[in-house]
Structure 1
Amino acid sequence: MTADDRQRRDPLRDPLRLDPKSVRRTFERAAATYDSAAVLQREIGQRMADRLALVKLQPAAILDAGCGTGDALAELRTRFPAAFIVGLDLAHAMLVAARRRATAGLTSERSLLARLFGSRAHASDEPALVCADACRLPLAGGSFDLIWSNLTLQWINEPATAFAEFHRALRVGGLLTFTTFGPDTLGELRTAFAGVDRATHVNRFIDMHDLGDMLVNTGFAEPVMDMEKLTLTYADATSLMRDLKAIGAHNATMGRPRGLTGRARWRRMLDALEAFRREGRLPATFEVVYGHAWKPEPRVAADGRAIVRFAPRAAR
């Protein structure tokens, strides 16, 4: 039996499969440095918010799945001040940072309101924060009108499982909006490492068409998928690696090298990466995938019977 045969029979042997413990551990460690390096994440979040502004929606309850240090929580609270907002993340340290940010923001807002309107004025409550896996939401079904997830799905082995949970947690008519990275992400780094050895050095990313199919298969309607490529440039490879480490973007695959990369191989990788240098800068390209879909009216009742709806005929 070949290695490929064993992998097909047991997906857990797939060297490109993510190690959940490693994912959690790296984001726990990155909480203190994340905000200083998350330039791309904030830019994508803003573009995501701009797209959401085109949708007519006034959600009463919002879930930010993979909220990190809480950047989007502040944006959502500003955009939907009357909504109850829940932030969920796998890493507890990220939630501690999100709580600190939310508390600081509300303290400042309450101080301003008190000066303007007196002591009876108050800001809305802090978001509720939950430490949990997006594939196993500890939340009741039909709880949210909007689920927002910015750059979280690429850290999940089975996005379809997360989509199914999002579908369960949404109310009928609710919207899921998300971003993730596509297969061309960090192509320069992947190519440079490929010339050095056969080990896995860069995570695997899923094509947007496959994600669209997953949305339909998990019960969502009217999925819209879009993609763009954004490029950051760096003076040297050390700066690129430092930024990736600061945001927790480590190689978390099961097949990742367990020891240090030898000096000779590291030097060859750096030489290969230099081939991509343009105008004195090293590029790091990210394929950004945007998606949204709605939870439709159910077609089948809980007991399996088909639901048929009749609309009154329009008067002539």
Structure 2
Amino acid sequence: MRGVSRNLPGTAAAYDQAAVLARLVGARMAERLDYMKISPQRIADIGCATGDGIRALQARYNKTQALAIDVSLPMLHGVRAHSSRLTRLLGRLLNRGPQLINADARALPLADNTLDFVWSNLMLHWLDDPLPALREIHRVMAVGGLVMFATLGPDSLLELRSAMEEVGADDTARRFIDMHDIGDMLVAAGFADPVMDMEVLNFTYRHPRQFLADQRHLGVRDAFLGQQPFRTWRKVFSAWPRDHEGRWPLRFEVVYGHAWKPAPRARPAHTAEGHAIMTFHRP
């Protein structure tokens, strides 16, 4: 995932302390599962970070084969670190996992029609174009499988962008894709019955440097905010309006989506470029 620097050594330990948004969004996603009647046999958390999602999924679906997939090796080491030696041993003996896979979401080392349920929490917005990843997820999912994800939407970081504009700084913060465009991508990737919704989560920071520190601990500061001279950041911070408690507010638009992999459509026996060929015979 271009622009994301979570491969830095030591990032995983600090990640857990700063990943407040990811944990909150993961909890919201889990609530949605209460309304999904699924009994998956094989599940995967793509962009698993240090494993909160896959652990929650294994607790919910305790007879599944689970895969924890991330492009960052330190994140996968973090998944392992959360398990005791006894748990890891029993997991290997009972094939309970999760199995750790170091892979890019756009090139999954899995066979076609492998997974029944794919979960992805705040990963897709790091891709300049999520469509190849959605197509790859569609490829590895079994017919009837469910994909569920959360990603950031375009109204995220509005206060910060407004401050940048006020002081004449370049808006280097990452741009996020609209909810409706993500829904269109799901259909283009081959999924059916996409359901999209969104909510705005409001955070406050004691100081803008706390926000910068959190993004650094997550390993995504430059990918999230772009690079600016620190004196420019100081101007931006001075223009960033505080709330009535003297804190710095910042909103995150969170887009939630899920869709199903339908059975392939049957084509007529004789087709050319997807069109049926009709043959006429003279009497």
TM surpasses 0.5: yes
1: CA distance, partners of 2:86 / 2:151: 28
2: CA distance, partners of 1:208 / 1:73: 25
* One-letter amino acid of the structure 1 residue matched with residue 119 of structure 2: W
Match of 1:98 in 2: 79
From 298, 309, 315, the equivalent of 2:264 is 298
Q: Secondary structure at the match of 1:287?
A: strand
2: CA distance, partners of 1:82 / 1:98: 19
1:163-210 per-residue CA deviation (whole Å, 9 max, x = no partner) reads 101110100000000000000111111221233345343111100000
1:266-286 per-residue CA deviation (whole Å, 9 max, x = no partner) reads 33211111x243322211110
Give the alignment of 1:160-199 within 5 angstroms: 160-199=131-170
**Residues 1:35 and 2:16 are matched in the alignment:** yes
Residues 90 and 131 in structure 1, CA contact (< 8 A), matched pair in contact too: yes
* One-letter amino acid of the structure 2 residue matched with residue 196 of structure 1: V
RMSD: 2.4
Match of 2:280 in 1: none
Residues 183 and 196 in structure 2, CA contact (< 8 A), matched pair in contact too: yes
* One-letter amino acid of the structure 1 residue matched with residue 146 of structure 2: L
Pairwise CA distance, 1:123: 6.9
Pairwise CA distance, 1:28: 3.2
Q: Secondary structure at the match of 1:252?
A: helix
Pairwise CA distance, 1:251: 2.8
After superposition, the Cα gap between the structure-2 partners of 1:302 and 1:140, relative to the gap in structure 1 and judged at 3 Å, is farther
Residues 163 and 214 in structure 1, CA contact (< 8 A), matched pair in contact too: yes
From 174, 190, 206, the equivalent of 2:177 is 206
Q: Secondary structure at the match of 2:172?
A: coil
**Residues 1:53 and 2:20 are matched in the alignment:** no
1:88-139 per-residue CA deviation (whole Å, 9 max, x = no partner) reads 10111100111121346826x97xxxxxxxxxxx876221111111011111
* One-letter amino acid of the structure 2 residue matched with residue 261 of structure 1: P
TM-score by length of 1: 0.79
Give the alignment of 1:64-79 within 5 angstroms: 64-79=45-60
1: CA distance, partners of 2:168 / 2:235: 10
Give the alignment of 1:258-273 within 5 angstroms: 261-263=229-231, 265-273=232-240
Pairwise CA distance, 1:302: 12
Residues 65 and 95 in structure 2, CA contact (< 8 A), matched pair in contact too: no
1: CA distance, partners of 2:60 / 2:22: 19
Q: Secondary structure at the match of 2:145?
A: strand
Pairwise CA distance, 1:244: 1.8
Residues 106 and 126 in structure 1, CA contact (< 8 A), matched pair in contact too: no
* One-letter amino acid of the structure 2 residue matched with residue 70 of structure 1: G
Q: What is the aligned-residue identity percentage?
A: 43
Match of 1:245 in 2: 216
1:33-56 per-residue CA deviation (whole Å, 9 max, x = no partner) reads 110111111111011011012100
After superposition, the Cα gap between the structure-2 partners of 1:26 and 1:74, relative to the gap in structure 1 and judged at 3 Å, is closer
Residues 180 and 288 in structure 1, CA contact (< 8 A), matched pair in contact too: yes
Match of 1:284 in 2: 250
* One-letter amino acid of the structure 2 residue matched with residue 215 of structure 1: L
1:246-271 per-residue CA deviation (whole Å, 9 max, x = no partner) reads 12232327x943xx6142x2332111
Residues 197 and 257 in structure 2, CA contact (< 8 A), matched pair in contact too: yes
After superposition, the Cα gap between the structure-2 partners of 1:103 and 1:143, relative to the gap in structure 1 and judged at 3 Å, is farther
Residues 152 and 176 in structure 2, CA contact (< 8 A), matched pair in contact too: yes
- Runs of at least 5 residues in structure 1 that lack an aligned partner in the other structure: 1-18, 111-121, 307-316
